[in-house]
């Protein structure tokens, strides 16, 4: 093989490698671009499942999809649908929803947090809610915090039987930041953080939640669930509770 032919072959290989790099960069750009981290997660999830849930309209934006259940934004509302049943539940009308990880789907159970600021009614609140698609779309308020106690919901976990646990903290920001992100208040220790659990038993959303822990050294993003064992970090130690 002469030197001229070898040089041409080398240039050809380099051109193919460069083209592959351009294609990969373009794909990454489509996934990132102006999309939020939650949109990227949603798109990747749909790509893995190969199909978009049939119960989600084409002009809707998926927030989170697991199995047959999808949570999506459409016409200004947050809606939940089950692909097998093709029914739709309107979860919010005017409220804003906290982004994942403060949104969990387990089977036909969906747990999430909302923020409402109604100027006309002079009403402001943060709610932890659970919707059961197997129980006539029952919507249970597990905890409600009224105006004057603006909080940030840092993380949330959901068991298969509908017990919800979460970490929240006080926030100086108005309104509270709804998206996950580095540097956001309540994602670092130093603020007063509170760990709660709540089940559907009882009727009073002001009394249903049980406080498990509180303190300024709790790391709000450290909440984990393994089976029915909940854990979180307080300082350098990991604490646990049975749900």
Q: Report yes or no: 101 and 126 within 8 Å, Cβ to Cβ.
A: no
Q: Burial, 118: exposed, middle or buried (Cβ in 10 Å; 0-12, 13-18, 19+)? A: exposed
Answer yes or no: is 7 within a domain: no
Split into its structural domains, the chain has a count of: 1
- pLDDT tens digit sequence for 78-87: 899 998 877 7
Q: Report yes or no: 140 and 132 within 8 Å, Cβ to Cβ.
A: yes
Answer yes or no: is 91 within a domain: no
Which tops the pLDDT comparison, 163 or 87? 163
* Residue 233 belongs to domain spanning: 96-242
Tell me which of 83-87, 162-166, 235-239 is least confident: 83-87
Answer yes or no: is 90 within a domain: no
Answer yes or no: is 160 within a domain: yes
Answer yes or no: is 169 within a domain: yes
The arithmetic mean of pLDDT across residues 5-23, rounded, is 50
Answer yes or no: is 55 within a domain: no
Tell me what pLDDT residue 65 has: 92
Q: Report yes or no: 225 and 165 within 8 Å, Cβ to Cβ.
A: yes
Answer yes or no: is 45 within a domain: no
Answer yes or no: is 115 within a domain: yes
Q: Is the pLDDT of residue 102 over 70?
A: yes
- pLDDT tens digit sequence for 109-133: 999 988 887 666 666 778 899 999 8
């Amino acid at each position: 093989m002469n030197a001229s032919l070898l040089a041409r072959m080398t240039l050809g290989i380099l051109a193919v490698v460069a083209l592959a790099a351009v294609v990969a960069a373009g794909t990454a750009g489509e996934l990132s671009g102006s999309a939020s981290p939650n949109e990227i997660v949603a798109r990747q999830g749909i790509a893995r499942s190969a199909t978009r849930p049939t119960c989600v309209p084409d002009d809707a934006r998926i927030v989170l999809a697991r199995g047959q259940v999808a949570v999506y934004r459409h016409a200004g509302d947050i809606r939940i649908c089950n692909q097998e049943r093709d029914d739709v539940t309107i979860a919010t009308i005017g409220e804003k929803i906290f982004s994942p990880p403060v949104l969990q789907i387990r089977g036909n159970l969906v747990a999430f947090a909302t923020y409402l600021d109604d100027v006309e009614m002079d009403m402001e609140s943060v709610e932890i809610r659970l919707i059961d698609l197997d129980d006539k779309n029952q919507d249970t308020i597990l905890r409600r915090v009224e105006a004057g106690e603006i909080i940030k919901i840092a993380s949330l976990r959901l068991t298969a039987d509908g017990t919800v646990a979460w970490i929240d903290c006080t926030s100086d920001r108005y309104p509270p930041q709804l998206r996950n992100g580095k540097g956001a208040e309540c994602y670092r220790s130093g603020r007063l953080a509170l760990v709660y659990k709540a089940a559907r038993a009882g009727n009073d959303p002001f009394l249903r939640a049980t406080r498990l822990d509180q303190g300024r050294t709790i790391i709000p993003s450290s909440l984990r669930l393994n089976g029915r064992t909940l854990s979180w970090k307080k300082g350098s130690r990991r604490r646990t509770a049975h749900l």
